[in-house]
Amino acid sequence: MYRYDNYDHALVQERVAQFRDQVRRWKAGELSDEEFRPLRLQNGLYIQRHAPMFRVAVPYGMLSSAQLRRLAKIARDYDKGYGHFTTRHNLQFNWIPLERVPDALAELAEVEMHAIQTSGNCIRNVTTDQFAGVAADEILDPRPLCELLRQWSTFHPEFAFLPRKFKIAVNGALEDRALTWFHDIGLHIRKNEAGEVGFRVIVGGGLGRTPIRGQVVREFLPWQDILTYNEAILRVYNRYGRRDNAYKARIKILVQALGVEKFAEQVEAEWIHLKGGPATITQAEYERVAAFFNPPAYAQLPAIDDGFVQAQAEQPAFARWVERNVRPHRVPGYAAVTLSLKKPGTAPGDVSDVQMDRVADLADRYSFGEVRVTHEQNLVLADVRQDELQALWQDAKAAALATPNIGLITDMICCPGGDFCDLANAKSIPIANAIQAKFEDLDYLYDIGDIELNISGCMNSCGHHHVGHIGVLGVDKGNEEWYQITLGGRQGNNAHLGKVIGPSFPADEVAGVVEKLIRVYLDNRHEDELFIDTLDRLGVEPFKDKVYGDRLKGKKAA
C-alpha cells in the first residue's frame, strides 16, 4: 500500500498543528462558531446529536495492521471503545471531545492517516472495489490510479469550496463492485479494441433526496488523461453548480438541468485548455505509484488444497462460512475473506477496539498485514492461503467476526441514524436489530439466498436504501418515526433505483413488513432470479398493485 514520503509527512503534521491552533482560538473566543465551522469540517468534525462525530479517512479502503491498531487505540483512549465503518470506507468515532481531536489527529499522523477532506464541500475519499488487485475478473488494479486521484485532489485550491461535497469511485473489474453509477464521478477501467487501457467516465450519479443514476459522458478516455479530464468536469461544476440551494447543488442536478450532451460539450470545451498539461500522468509517475501496490510474496501453491476441501466436508459450519465469506483469488492456492461486522444484535458496521486489534493480528498472521474496508461495512483479508482458512475461521469466530452471512439479508447496510446523527428523521439501528432477530435461522437465510437490505435514517441515504433489493428509509410524520419501504434496487453493472411501495410504516411494524416481503418473494421467485427481476416478472407497480398490496398486508388477494 502507499507509504508517505517526506512531503506527505510534513503536510499532514502541518495540518495537525494548524487545527490545534484553530481549536485554541475557538475556545478562546477568537473564532466564532460560524467561523470555526468550515475549519472543523475540513478536519472531519461534525456536531451530532450527543457529541462531535470525527471521521477518519481510509483512502480507497486500505489499512495496514499498524493503522488499524492505532484506530483501536484511539477508540479506547479517546472514545467509548468502538468505531463505525461507513459506506465511504471511512471510520467514524462518535464520542471524542472536540478539544481532544487535535491529539487524536497527531496520533493518526504517526501512522500515516488523517481526516482531511472527509467532510465539507470538497472532493471526498476516493473509493474502489474491496477486491482490487486480487479479483479474477480484474482488467487493471485501480489502486494506483485511486492514489493518483487522491494526491491530485488533496488540498486542490480550486476545489476546496465546491457547491457541495463531491465523491469519486473507480472500478477496475468486469463487475462493478464500487457503486460507480451513483457517484458524482464514476470511472470504469476498460480496454478498447486496440487493447489500450482507459476509462469510461460517468457523471451525475448520486443518492440522497434526488436519487439519480449517472450518465456516460465519455466511453473511452486514455488513462493518462484522467486527472485533466476530472479537472475539466469539476471546473464546469464549480462554474455552473447552484450555490443558492443546498438541495440542488450536487452535480447530478446540473447534469439533469443542462442535459448530459450539453454538459459533455462544456467539459470537452474546458478540457481543451487542460489536455496534455502538467496534470497528465506520465508512465514514469504511474510506475512510481504502482510500485507501492506490487503483489506480496505469494507462495507457490496448488490451486486446490486437499486439507481445505476435506475440512469443508467434515465441518458443515466451516463449509457454510466458506460458501458465504470466502471468494476465489487470482493467485492459485489463495482466497479473499470477508470478516462480517453484522453479527446479530450489533449495529452494522460497528467494531470494538478489541476487535480492531484482533483483526490487525489476523492480518499480520494470514494476509501480509493488510486489511480492506468494504462499502457494505465489512472488512476483508484479501490474501489468505487456502490451507490456513480453517485456522482463520476459528480465530475469527473467537472475535465474533465469522458470521456466515455475506450477501444475505442480515448483511445489511445501515447508517447510525437517529441514535447519533443530527440530520436523521428516525433511528436505524433498532430497525436493523429487529430485522436481524426475524432472520436468526441460518438455514432459512440460506434458503432465501442473496438479498441486499439497506437502511437509512433520512433522505441523505448514507445507508444506500435506494439501491437495496429492499430499502428502508426513516421519515418524520408529525414528530413520530415512520419508515418508507422501497423494492427492486440493485448495485452492479446494471445498477437500478428501487421503487417506493406505498405508505410508510411505524417502527414496530417494519420487521414484520420485511418478513412478509420475503415470503412473497419466496412464493414467486425462480431460482436464478434477483429480487428486482421477480418484481418485473410479476408486473408489480408498487403504488398501484392491489393484489401485491393485499398480500403484503397479509390479506387474501382479491
pLDDT of residue 549: 42
| 375: DSSP letter | T
Query: Residue 72's closest CA among 93, 58, 53?
Result: 93
What's the rounded Cα separation, in Å, for the pair 276 and 346? 51
Q: How many CA atoms lie within 13 A of 3 on its CB side?
A: 7
**How would residue 556 be classed by pLDDT, with cut points 50, 70 and 90?**
very low
Query: What digits encode the pLDDT tens for the residues 186-222?
Result: 999 999 999 999 999 999 999 999 999 999 999 999 9
SS3 string, 328-349, reads: ECCCCCEEEEEECCCCCCCCCC
171 φ, ψ to 5°?
-125, 130
What's the rounded Cα separation, in Å, for the pair 325 and 302? 21
What's the rounded Cα separation, in Å, for the pair 86 and 74? 17
Query: Residue 485's closest CA among 448, 525, 462, 456?
Result: 456
Kindly state the average pLDDT of the residues 158-185.
Answer: 97
Kindly state the average pLDDT of the residues 502-523.
Answer: 94
Question: Between the CA atoms of 139, 142, 145 and 146, what dihedral angle is there, to the nearest 10 degrees?
Answer: 160
Record the pTM: 0.94
Query: Residue 300's closest CA among 336, 330, 332, 337?
Result: 332
C-alpha cell at 464: 444506500
pLDDT of residue 11 exceeding 90: yes
Query: What digits encode the pLDDT tens for the residues 46-80?
Result: 988 888 999 999 999 999 999 999 999 999 999 99
What b-and-e string marks burial along 361-370, b requiring 16 or more CB atoms within 10 Å of the CB?
Answer: ebbebbbbbb
What's the rounded Cα separation, in Å, for the pair 115 and 153? 14
Query: Residue 327's closest CA among 335, 317, 315, 339?
Result: 335
pLDDT of residue 119 exceeding 50: yes
CB distance 489 to 469 below 8 Å:
yes
C-alpha cell at 517: 416481503
Q: How many whole angstroms from its chain centre is CA 93?
A: 16
Cβ atoms within 10 Å, residue 316 = 9
**What are the residues whose beta carbons fall under 8 Å from the beta carbon of 404, sequence distance 6 or more?**
317, 320, 321, 323, 324, 325, 340, 442
Pairing state between β 197-203 and 334-339: unpaired
| 60: DSSP letter | G
pLDDT of residue 477: 87
| 176: DSSP letter | -
Query: What digits encode the pLDDT tens for the residues 498-507?
Result: 999 888 999 9
**Collapsing DSSP states into helix, strand and coil, what is residue 475?**
strand
More confident residue, 549 or 342: 342
CB distance 180 to 172 below 8 Å:
no
54 beta partners: 45, 93
pLDDT of residue 325 exceeding 50: yes
**How would residue 515 be classed by pLDDT, with cut points 50, 70 and 90?**
very high
